[in-house]
C-alpha cells in the first residue's frame, strides 16, 4: 500500500522515535496528541498535529474513533501505533483497515490470534516449542482438580492480558479462589474479555525473548535474543542483547522460532517471549508490536526496526543492505519517574532540570526535556538510555558512566536503584532472575541513605514552588540560579 504521510497514535519517546524513522524515509508525519501533550518534543518535530482529546487516555490515545478521524482529517494513509495503548488492539487495527489506513503492524486477524495467550501457545506447540503446564478456567467447577494438575505455585492469567496486568501468583486453593474474580474483573476492565487460565509458576526463571521480523514478501529474519529478567512488578527495567544463554539453547530457540514464523502469514515485527529455567525453555507469549526494548537489538544488529516496519507496510524489502550478524553487547536502562524509596511509587510534576548523557555508543531515546510535565495519566517511562560496547563488561561500564552523567531534577527517578543494580554481584554474574529484584530492592532500601532522600525532597519542594511561580517558561528557566536567588530573597 502506498502512503506519504504517517499518523502516530502515541506519545513520549516512541512517538519521537517513529517521527525520526519516517523523516529518514521522506515521509510526512501527523502527531495525534492529547491536550496535555503540547510541550513534548514529538509535538514540535511532527509535520502536522491533531488534538484527539483530553489527557486521560480513554479520551485520547485509547479513543479509536478520535484517532481514526484525526488521521483521516490530515489525509494520513498509514498509522503507527507504537507500543502500549492500542498497539495490540485488533479492533483498532480493523478500524484502520476499514478506513483504508495502513496499520503499521500485523493485520487485525493476527493481532487477535496472538493477543490470546492460549491460542498463541497452541501455535507454539505446533512448532514444537515447549510450553508450561496450563489449564483453561471456564467456571468454578473442577477448579481444585485443574489447579492440582498444574501444581502450585501457579499463575492466574487473563488470556488477553498484557503489560503485566491480569496476572497473579497463587500458592494454594484458598488464594486461588479469592484471586480468580479479581483477575476476571481486571481482564474485563482492561481487555474487555474475561477469559482466564492457570499456568505453572517458575520461581527461578530468566525472561528471554527472541526478536523476529517477517518482510512483506514473507522472508523470515530471526534477530537474536534479549535478556529482560531485571523486572520489578513484572515490568522490565534493564534489558540486554544478546542473552548469555548457552549457544546450543540459543540455536534450538532460533530454529523453533523460525518454524513458528513459517506456520503463519504474519508480517512485520514480533517478539516471542520465553521463560528459561535450568536447561529448559518454555514459550510464554508472542507480542505483535514493537517492544520498548527493541533498541538493544537495533544496537547489536545495526538495523532500524521501526523503518523496517514502515517499509513492510509499504510492501518494500527490508535489511537488504545489512549483514545480519550481531556484534558486541547492548544494555538498556529504563529511566522511570518513580520513587525507589517508596516501592517505585510514580512521581509526577515538572522536569525542572534534565541532562542526558553523551558519548560514543550512548543512545538516549526520550520524548521529554526540561520544563515538560510528567503526568499521572501515563506510564512512568521518561527515557531509555541504551549503550553498546564490544563486550558485556564494557557495556556495563559505559552504562554506569551514562547514568552518572544523567541529571534529573524535580521528580524522583529510579536512577540510583539502576546504578546499584548494575553493580550488584548477581547482575555482573548474569544471575538475575525474574523475581530477583524484590530481594535486591529490599536490601538497597535499608542500606541506601534516607538522609539524602530527605534533603532531596526539601530541595524539590522549594524548586517546584519557584517553578510554579514563574510558570512553564522553558529554556529560560534555570533551576540552579532560581533556587539560589530564592534563597537570597
Among 88, 240, 285, 372, binds ligand ADP (CB under 6 A): 285
| Least Cβ distance, residue 429 to ligand ADP (angstroms) | 20
Among positions 32-71, residues that touch ligand ADP (CB under 6 A) are none
Among 33, 114, 201, 412, binds ligand ADP (CB under 6 A): 201
Of 30-38, 162-170, 392-400, 443-451, the segment contacting ligand ADP by CB under 6 A is 162-170
| Least Cβ distance, residue 26 to ligand ADP (angstroms) | 35
The position carrying cell 490530515 is 74
The position carrying cell 530457540 is 253
Q: Looking at beta carbons only, is 200 or 329 nearer to ligand ADP?
A: 200
Closest CA to 401 of 374, 422, 373, 424: 422
The reply to whether 129 sits near ligand ADP by the rule CB under 6 A is no
Q: Looking at beta carbons only, is 167 or 253 nearer to ligand ADP?
A: 167
Q: Looking at beta carbons only, is 260 or 409 nearer to ligand ADP?
A: 260
Q: How many residues bind ligand ADP (CB under 6 A)?
A: 20
The reply to whether 156 sits near ligand ADP by the rule CB under 6 A is no
* CA atoms of 261 and 275, how far apart (whole Å): 19
Distances (CA, A) of 207 to 236, 329, 378, 391, 431: 9, 17, 25, 21, 12
In the set 232, 289, 334, 363, the catalytic residue is 289
Rounded to a whole number of angstroms, the distance between the first and last alpha carbons of the chain is 63
* Minimal CB distance residue for ligand ADP: 434
* CA atoms of 152 and 204, how far apart (whole Å): 14
Q: Looking at beta carbons only, is 116 or 406 nearer to ligand ADP?
A: 116
Among 12, 57, 162, 270, binds ligand ADP (CB under 6 A): 162
* CA atoms of 351 and 407, how far apart (whole Å): 10
128: left (phi over 0), alpha (psi -120 to 50) or beta: left
The reply to whether 193 sits near ligand ADP by the rule CB under 6 A is no
The reply to whether 170 sits near ligand ADP by the rule CB under 6 A is no
Establish whether 289 is a catalytic residue.
yes
| Least Cβ distance, residue 436 to ligand ADP (angstroms) | 11
The most distant pair of C-alpha atoms in the chain lies apart, rounded to whole Å, by 72
138 CB contacts (<8 Å, ≥6 apart)?
none
Among positions 63-122, residues that touch ligand ADP (CB under 6 A) are none
Among 161, 349, 350, 410, binds ligand ADP (CB under 6 A): 161
Q: Looking at beta carbons only, is 227 or 285 nearer to ligand ADP?
A: 285
Strand partners, 199: 134, 155
Of 61-69, 158-166, 309-317, 457-465, the segment contacting ligand ADP by CB under 6 A is 158-166
| Least Cβ distance, residue 17 to ligand ADP (angstroms) | 21
The reply to whether 241 sits near ligand ADP by the rule CB under 6 A is no
The reply to whether 130 sits near ligand ADP by the rule CB under 6 A is no
Of 68-76, 163-171, 185-193, 254-262, the segment contacting ligand ADP by CB under 6 A is 163-171
Among 284, 296, 352, 395, binds ligand ADP (CB under 6 A): 284
Of 26-34, 89-97, 200-208, 399-407, the segment contacting ligand ADP by CB under 6 A is 200-208
The reply to whether 417 sits near ligand ADP by the rule CB under 6 A is no
The reply to whether 209 sits near ligand ADP by the rule CB under 6 A is no
Whether omega for the bond prior to residue 60 falls within 30 degrees of 0, making it cis, is no
Of 55-63, 197-205, 294-302, 406-414, the segment contacting ligand ADP by CB under 6 A is 197-205
Strands 220-232 and 206-214: antiparallel
Cell numbers found for residue 479: 533551576
Site string for ligand ADP, 323-362 (x = CB under 6 A): ----------------------------------------
Residues of the shown chain interacting with ligand ADP in the complex, contacts defined by CB under 6 A: 132, 155, 161-164, 167, 199-202, 205, 207, 231, 234, 273, 275, 284-285, 434
Task: Cite the active site residues.
Answer: 289
Amino acid at each position: 500500500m502506498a502512503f506519504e504521510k504517517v499518523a502516530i497514535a502515541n506519545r513520549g519517546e516512541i512517538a519521537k522515535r517513529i517521527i525520526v524513522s519516517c523523516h529518514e524515509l521522506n515521509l510526512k508525519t501527523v502527531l495525534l496528541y492529547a491536550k496535555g501533550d503540547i510541550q513534548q518534543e514529538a509535538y514540535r518535530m511532527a509535520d502536522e498535529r491533531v488534538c484527539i482529546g483530553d489527557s486521560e487516555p480513554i479520551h485520547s490515545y485509547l479513543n479509536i474513533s478520535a484517532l481514526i478521524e484525526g488521521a483521516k482529517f490530515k489525509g494520513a494513509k498509514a498509522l503507527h501505533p507504537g507500543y502500549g495503548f492500542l498497539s495490540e488492539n485488533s479492533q483498532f487495527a480493523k478500524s484502520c483497515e476499514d478506513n483504508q489506513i495502513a496499520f503499521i503492524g500485523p493485520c487485525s486477524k493476527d493481532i487477535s490470534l496472538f493477543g490470546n495467550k492460549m491460542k498463541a501457545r497452541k501455535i507454539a506447540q505446533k512448532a514444537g516449542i515447549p510450553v508450561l503446564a496450563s489449564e483453561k478456567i471456564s467456571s468454578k467447577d473442577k477448579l481444585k482438580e485443574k489447579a492440582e494438575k498444574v501444581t502450585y505455585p501457579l499463575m492466574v492469567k487473563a488470556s488477553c492480558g498484557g503489560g503485566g496486568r491480569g496476572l497473579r501468583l497463587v500458592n494454594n486453593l484458598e488464594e486461588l479462589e479469592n484471586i480468580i474474580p479479581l483477575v476476571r474483573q481486571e481482564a474485563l476492565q482492561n481487555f474487555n474479555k474475561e477469559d482466564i487460565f492457570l499456568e505453572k509458576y517458575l520461581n527461578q526463571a530468566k525472561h528471554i525473548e527472541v526478536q523476529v521480523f517477517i518482510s512483506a514478501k514473507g522472508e523470515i529474519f530471526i534477530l537474536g535474543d534479549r535478556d529482560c529478567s531485571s523486572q520489578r512488578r513484572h515490568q522490565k527495567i534493564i534489558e540486554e542483547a544478546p542473552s548469555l544463554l548457552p549457544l546450543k539453547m540459543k540455536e534450538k530457540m532460533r530454529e523453533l522460532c523460525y518454524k513458528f514464523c513459517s506456520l503463519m502469514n504474519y508480517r512485520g515485527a514480533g517478539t516471542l517471549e520465553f521463560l528459561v529455567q535450568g536447561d529448559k525453555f518454555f514459550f510464554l507469549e508472542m507480542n505483535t508490536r514493537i517492544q520498548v526494548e527493541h533498541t538493544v537489538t537495533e544496537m547489536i544488529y545495526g538495523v532500524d526496526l521501526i523503518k523496517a516496519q514502515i517499509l513492510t507496510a509499504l510492501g518494500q524489502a527490508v535489511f537488504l543492505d545489512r549483514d545480519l550478524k550481531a556484534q558486541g553487547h547492548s544494555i538498556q536502562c529504563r529511566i522511570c519517574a518513580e520513587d525507589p524509596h517508596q516501592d517505585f511509587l510514580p512521581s509526577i510534576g515538572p522536569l525542572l532540570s534534565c541532562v542526558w548523557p553523551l558519548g560514543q555508543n550512548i543512545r538516549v531515546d526520550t520524548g521529554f526535556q526540561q520544563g515538560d510535565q510528567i503526568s499521572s495519566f501515563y506510564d512512568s517511562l521518561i527515557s531509555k538510555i541504551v549503550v553498546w560496547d564490544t563486550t558485556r563488561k564494557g557495556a556495563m561500564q559505559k552504562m554506569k558512566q551514562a547514568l552518572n552523567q544523567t541529571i534529573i531534577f524535580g521528580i524522583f527517578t529510579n536512577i540510583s536503584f539502576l546504578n546499584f543494580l548494575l553493580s550488584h554481584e548477581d547482575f555482573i554474574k548474569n544471575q538475575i532472575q525474574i523475581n530477583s529484584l524484590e530481594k535486591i530492592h529490599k536490601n538497597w532500601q535499608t542500606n541506601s541513605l534516607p538522609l539524602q532522600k530527605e534533603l532531596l525532597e526539601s530541595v524539590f519542594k522549594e524548586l517546584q514552588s519557584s517553578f510554579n511561580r514563574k510558570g512553564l517558561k522553558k529554556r529560560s528557566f534555570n533551576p540552579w540560579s532560581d533556587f539560589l536567588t530564592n534563597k537570597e530573597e
